[in-house]
Amino acid sequence: MSKIFVLDTEERPLDPIHPAHARQLLRNKKAAVFRQFPFTIILKESRPESAVSSLRLKIDPGAKFTGIALVNDSTGEVINAFELKHRGFAIRDALTCRRQLRRSRRARKTRYRKPRFLNRTRPDSWLAPSLQSRIDNIKTWVEKLRKFAPIEAIASELVRFDMQLMANPDIQGKEYQQGTLAGYETREYLLEKWGRRCAYCGVKDVPFQVEHIHPRAKGGSNSITNLTLSCEKCNTKKGTKDIKEFLKKDTSRLEKILKQAKRPLADVAAVNTTRFALLKTLKATGLPVETGSGGLTKFNRSQQKLEKTHWIDAACVGESTPILNIKGVKPLLITASGHGTRQSCRTDKYGFPSRHCSRTKFHFGFQTGDIVKAVVKTGKKVGEYVGRIATRATGSFNISTTNGLLQGISHRYCKAIHKKDGYGYSN
């Protein structure tokens, strides 16, 4: 079961405790709520110093989701788990939109000017904002969790796939992936690339076989661009036929497979581009950092017969993975939402101003994005509501709850339970 973070009177992290123990401390007023997400309590009275168990923070970075798990190496217990949803692709789309709007304005108001490419420089370690945001998100949560839990080591997945093994399947000698892990890298890559379904019939949730698009018997290679996933039935039926002959009656599927075979994985490219920058960021914490590959993660998960989720993948990262105890663990789902925008106005699809944006961020002590509890005792909307608010200068707020949007709630009924920090939370 996911445990509760505990701080002593000087805000130093102690061993996480069972939720029932935390409720008892709060009920007896021996502790108070320090933070709502992740839920953390702080003791009101000092206790004799005792040994604190060291935990390992394990990270499975991804392009869209990053899994995070806190593991006790000595017992194998997963103390807590998180799944962090990034907004890198949203940032990319926003920058593309901004670039198009600016270009159209320039074209409307100025004569054509030849592009100049040497008028700005970037540092060697520069990353695109959509990629940098992923590193910043992970860095933020590493720093937060270090304040709430006694973390003494970090384990992170450095590479999703071993490109050397995939480029040369006949690799020999004492190379990195020689032995029991050989084949896991290629299979994991293909599962991601082909959406975990048979390329020929589209079936899911069956055992898959690695299949050559252009058969080896007719000169096909072992290159990753010539491999796909196939169910046993389709693989047997295709045999050594050329794919054009096999799918001559289904030209649309043939075209789709040939196009997908040449297409690189955008998600993999994003992860591989940021891997060393993330490693540098993690090492800057001063904690020992262990790294592993995606193939090793899948091997560890398969050996323990665990289901595939982002947080379980994180718990299985690295060679230090013990026999895991994940009973009752429920991850906290975190969504990177950003801190708003600096736009003075919103624009329509043609780039013309459509509505004004208030420059005042705070109204009556609240700002858009705060999580509040509203207790309404009169009127048509009597009840208790918890959710994220959108503020107005009039003091009439909107609250987004799990049951939908509630409009027109006065600020007098609202009490902040978690101030805006750029992230959204759900269980």
* pLDDT tens readout for residues 1-43: 789 999 999 999 999 999 999 999 999 999 999 999 999 999 9
Q: Which H helix or E strand runs over 137?
A: helix 129-148
Last residue of one domain, picked from the residues 245, 266, 287: 266
Residue 156 in any domain: the answer is: no
CATH number at 363 reads 2.30.30
Q: Among 69-78, 353-362, 378-387, 414-423, whose mean pLDDT is lowest? A: 353-362
Q: What is the pLDDT averaged over residues 327-351?
A: 87
Residue 170 in any domain: the answer is: no
> What is the pLDDT, as a whole number, of residue 174?
39
Residue 313 pLDDT more than 80? yes
pLDDT tens readout for residues 392-408: 889 999 999 988 999 99
Q: What is the pLDDT averaged over residues 163-190?
A: 54
Mean pLDDT, the chain, integer: 87
Residue 259 pLDDT more than 60? yes
Q: How many domains does the chain have?
A: 3
> What is the pLDDT, as a whole number, of residue 124?
81
Residue 301 in any domain: the answer is: no
Residue 56 in any domain: the answer is: no
Range of the domain at 259: 179-266
> What is the pLDDT, as a whole number, of residue 59?
97
Residue 320 in any domain: the answer is: no
Residue 243 in any domain: the answer is: yes
The C-alpha atoms of residue 220 and residue 319 are separated, in whole angstroms, by 36
Task: Write the single-letter amino acid at 115.
Answer: P
Nearest to 102 by CA among 347, 377, 306: 347
The C-alpha atoms of residue 64 and residue 204 are separated, in whole angstroms, by 22
Residue 328 in any domain: the answer is: no
CATH number at 192 reads 1.10.30
Residue 4 in any domain: the answer is: yes
Last residue of one domain, picked from the residues 50, 73, 89: 50
> What is the pLDDT, as a whole number, of residue 185?
65
pLDDT higher at 166 or 295:
295
The C-alpha atoms of residue 154 and residue 160 are separated, in whole angstroms, by 17
Q: Calculate helix-pair angle for 266-283, 129-148, nearest 10 degrees.
A: 40
> What is the pLDDT, as a whole number, of residue 123?
81
Residue 142, SS3?
helix
Last residue of one domain, picked from the residues 50, 66, 86: 50
